Chain A
Amino acid sequence: MTEKAETLPGVRAAAAPAAARARVPVMVLSGFGINAEIELADAFRRAGASPDIVHIGDLAAQPRLLEDYRIVGFPGGFSFGDHLGSGKVLASLVRAELRTALQQLVRRGGLVIGICNGFQILAKSGMLPDLDGDWTPCVSLIHNDCGRFENSWTECQIYSAASEAWLRGLGRIELPVRHGEGRFVCADSGVLRQLQSNGRVALRYRGRNPNGSQDGIAGICDPSGRVLGLMPHPEAFCDRLQHPKWTRGSDSEPTGLAILRNGVQFAAVL
């Protein structure tokens, strides 16, 4: 671990010029009700990157900040309270103010990950699945079929072909879900078929489907495979003690970290 691994709670990373760093520069967004930015930054740091937490208001004022980064993370949370629908207000902001900058980032080989509320934002802004390359929204994440928020661990099957960047070498994983609006739905059956047949499905729930998602879909990718959105939380399983059964001697590999490490290593050779 570097000296920055010991960042004090609540203290944002100092902004040394990101592009000049030896480690992969990652921008983790914060603000307006995003609330998992610190652990996502910590997880990226463990994965070997050099993350900065940037307030999304600051980024909207200066979208060119993105040029210094190779990965952008949209963490979980309740952006704008999810008051007009989960992720909705922030998705509109992203669409209006950051679309060009994000498209450029992906075009030059950069990576994007949206987790939970971050996934909702990517879906509602149209950045995912981006079937036609023009950010037309065609999938959504709606209220769980049980009508309740739920925090529980789920087992997922990863389809690594969907994303060489984030998912290579991964199979079954365990991660927690923590959401009230995670039910993945497509605008129509044609969209679902396209996702399935074009290999855009990144992961599915195994066993219990915690929210009634269509086809058990827990995460999807864009056509490049570099933009990943998922409801389960990779940043919440980066070491053994976070697993719910570690006291029973369960020693499963921290698969959340594996996803992020994949992304960082992929971005390192850009």
Chain B
Amino acid sequence: MYDLIVVGGGPAGLAAACSAWDSGLRSILIVERDRELGGILNQCIHNGFGLTYFKEELTGPEYAHRFVELLSKTGVEVRTDTMVLEITGDLRIHMTGPETGYRVEEARSVILAMGCRERTRGAIGIPGYRPAGVFTAGAAQRYVNVEGWLPGKRVVILGSGDIGLIMARRMTLEGAKVLACVEVMPYSGGLTRNIVQCLEDYDIPLYLSHTVTDIRGRDRVEQVVVSEVDERRRPIPGTEMVFDCDTLLLSVGLIPENELTQSAGIRIDPRTKGPEVFENMETSLPGVFSCGNVTHVHDLVDFVTQESQRAGAAAAKYVLNGPAAGESIALRNGNGVSYTVPQRVRPENVEKVFNVFFRVNRIFGPSRIVVSAGERELCRFKRDRLAPGEMENITVPVKLLEGVAGEITVSVKEA
């Protein structure tokens, strides 16, 4: 019986395991399906990681390496090349790998850190042929940065998520011609800095309010048709542009990977597509915690680290001191807010402050974020600009929740 089993050895699992160790747990197992720890960071060779957490600019593999080094100073056990198949409601973890075979391990607590996966062509239903040459941006990133293959020479990118933007620059540097980045929304889904340093630096046009309406080519992509869309995202006939290209990269969103979560009967929030969590990242199943992209998709690994450290510390507290107590207050979406994490807060379980991560559902200019209970405003935070592609984070003092029962609302009001 382990005190803690961490499912996933990416940035979330690594930070959670280190933090649980530092908080006093001594029997911890990380289960990772890849051959190495580090998760997706290993293929994210660009820099910009760690500015918040380490106060320096690291590449993905360097960021992962920092945590692998920290982990090596602990007694945390690691099983790589091992796939978790099922988590049961009584915390038995079914796993299989070439070295150990099929095993069932028991745990006093579990941390879900499985991350997310990319939406594919099937998820967005692009019409046209099914030729070779259509890749998710992350698959192309793996080919180029790890395996050493260039997947194409003339490229159109659909979606302006960060991975798509990063790959526009990467493919250009490696000698491909990136003809266009196409985004169905009227704003980019990625960080502004990536628009600047990945598209503008290389004169790659960004077509907002456009989408791919046809893929042509029987064996290999030969042409991609791009159309403008109206405000309801329907293609406008007569606006078609035809690009001669051999490759289409898709950067059309990430989905938390929660099959294991569901198998354990843990409640999923339809807004985040991740488990509902309390202030300490505990899910609806006591003793099971969740952190990183399996909980909600982050833009920055630094925040994954911070969130995962809270999960690790909370798992240790659960094992050493027993379950968290207290009534919970639900967090509701107000105007302009598309989700919040956590979904519930137990004031008794918070020392001084709790963090709320959320995203807005459109672009806001100068505005204030308001936390309220019914008609009563509890606190407000000023922002110059809010965008759906940039996750927001507020810190709320728990004493403001005195006398509040039921629920609070997070909303955005434009100044």
Whether chains A and B associate is no
Question: Interface of B with A (CB < 8 Å)?
Answer: none
Question: Interface of A with B (CB < 8 Å)?
Answer: none
